[in-house]
Structure 1
Amino acid sequence: MLTISQLAGYVGVSVRTVRHYHQLGLLTEPPRDHSGYRRYGADDVIALKRISTLARSGVPLAQIPGLLAAEPAEFGRAIAGIDAELETQIAELRQRRDDLAQLPSAERLCIPDEVAEILALERELGLRETTVEIERNSWILLSAAYPDMLAASLAMKRACLADAEYRALVVAMDAAVDWDPDDPRLVDLARTSMAVLQRLYPVEVARAEAAEWARTDEVTVGLLIEMNEQSSPAWLRLYELVGELTREGGYPDV
């Protein structure tokens, strides 16, 4: 007669596995002898070997009792079904490996190539990494909330970056990231922002596109504001000042 450790070693499994099979009712648990140990015989070795062979082959533990009691034809059908499930799982794992291999760098995760190009250009302008990171995260958030508006937003951003005054404005905003929210220079920067906005995005165009941009829900706007507030209170104040100017200029409040 064998102890549980001898049984496990005889079959090539762990003692923990044997106990797990006992808990699931797959393997009958023998009574203890006078010394308090459970003793296993030949039938237990055979049963454990059959169970472990099925488990190693990928058979779900819940299906093992039925297979052990199945007639040959039923056993064959069950194995064929399990094999088909395993084939599906293998295909899914292969697809995951393919997807994993296609993942870009950590920075380019979740952003299209067009956004990566914009970030590269902003680095060329000398923007600090904090600013570039805010830009990247904003694109991720907007692309998740409004994927159908991404192409138009990217086209607008590229057109803006092609403008010298806009590029100068971006550099100025980058310099203002560490300013105090009460810094009076923010007022001048807001006026400069408004002048660039009026030239690149006239109020007539803004009004014509108001219905489309009105889809920007309060939740997404709140998340964007939260992101900017955490990174730069000065920028949050700047956006408030620009918002006041746009409303005064007749821009739709979307």
Structure 2
Amino acid sequence: MPSVFRPCIDLHNGAVKQIVGGSLDTDNLKTNFVSEHPSSYYADLYRKHNLTGGHVIKLGPGNDMAAREALQAWPGGLQIGGGITEKNAQEWLDAGAEKIIVTSYLFPGARFDEERLRRLAEKVGKERLVVDVSCRRRDDRWIVAMDRWQVMTDMEVNAGSLARLSQYCSEFLVHAADVEGLCKGIDEELVAKLGEWTTIPTTYAGGAKSADDLALVERLSNGKVDLTFGSALDIFGGTQVKFDELVDYNKRALEV
């Protein structure tokens, strides 16, 4: 399969926003875009164009209602992440999520708890579970970051950790938090490494600034990694990438 565009809906304080990822939960929050449209507007847009595998991310509290509105607009068409735990996972699937996305719950005290992941996979099924290994770069390594990307965990993103995690989930979501929202280009080295390391569907997010980035990601990852666009996209107030371009790209890619 070729690399394709995966859509997103980022929620903050109940609104659809695009935020510089590294600034979340800091005193210097940088917001690129606040939408005048509800979350359901974007979910319906993605549904109309059959853009599958998209994710709704709740960035902090106050987003449950907006998340439910998005899921109701396209039942079974979107994944949901942000504050997902063993207790509420089934509730979100029942609300219409295709899959649940989990990060922070797996790292109590910032340390990976494999037993939590195993129980969650048993509860909802491996095929409905996405592990978010969003990360920040430290020298030549990438470390999983939790709690809106502000807390570094004890897990490095590499072939071994991804193989371990993939026993329990059907997909990975990887936000490169250091470049998220900056529209200055993807982390090419990370994308290439993900292409080497991952054996299950993987979506990368962070820094995409041109429709040409889809072809770049495909080349770097040998088609094993898909790409999410955020702040650069015209539907999120950006000027660098047109949504219609990405829809057309997906149509062409999936016809091959």
Task: Give the TM interval when normalised to the shorter protein.
Answer: under 0.3
Higher relative contact order (CA 8 A, sep 6+): 2
What is the TM-score of this pair, normalised by structure 1? 0.25
Q: Which has more strand, going by share of residues?
A: 2
Larger-Rg structure: 1
Structure-2-length-normalised TM-score: 0.25
Structure 1 or 2: more helix by fraction: 1
